[in-house]
Structure 1
Amino acid sequence: MLILGYDYSSGVWQLEGEAYIPSGTDATSVMQVFGGSSRATTIMLRVYSAKLTVYRSPTVLENVYNRWLKVNIHDVGASNVKVYIDGFQRYQGSGAGGNNHYFKFI
């Protein structure tokens, strides 16, 4: 799902959504923030072998099959991305630059 009309270039933005990861899901994107300067995305959460990862690593959560996850956050001004899963921060890292961003939730 691409959320149209909410592109952004500054500030702190949050997408909160829930995703269900069925058994057998592999090499699949769950959530993305598009708009990096060195690559197409600032962050991508993917599922590999029952693990939720940022791109291919690091792993932010294990044993994700057959459960619902609430994910969300992007601070453009600080070039900072935080990933919260079910209310707990699981990852913090640098953004990927860029002037225009938008969320895509699968």
Structure 2
Amino acid sequence: MSKNIVYIDPDLEFLIPQFLENREEDRQRLEKLLQESEFDQIRIIGHSMKGSGGGYGFDYLTEIGSQIEKNAELKNKEEIKNLIDELRNYLDNLEIIYQKE
């Protein structure tokens, strides 16, 4: 499986481990919330991911957060499950390269 390579400004290096740990916690919470059909809470997490991803250099997290948010509004359980799987795959195969732009 190919790695998801993300180039991050070295100035953010100390923030990235906690940021990614929080995204993994989000993923676990999303799975639990989906089982409970808590679409409002799912929407909030998606919205938060949409807002924070790009600021740290993780544009894909912004994109997937937006999709989670939209599908939570539609109560589209199957698509949310697929997006959570995509999120897991992305986080599990992430390779970060620190470099100045």
Q: Over alpha carbons, which structure has the higher Rg?
A: 2
Higher relative contact order (CA 8 A, sep 6+): 2
Same fold? TM cut 0.5: no
**Structure with the largest fraction of helix:** 2
TM-score, normalised by the number of residues in structure 2:
0.30
**Structure with the largest fraction of strand:** 1
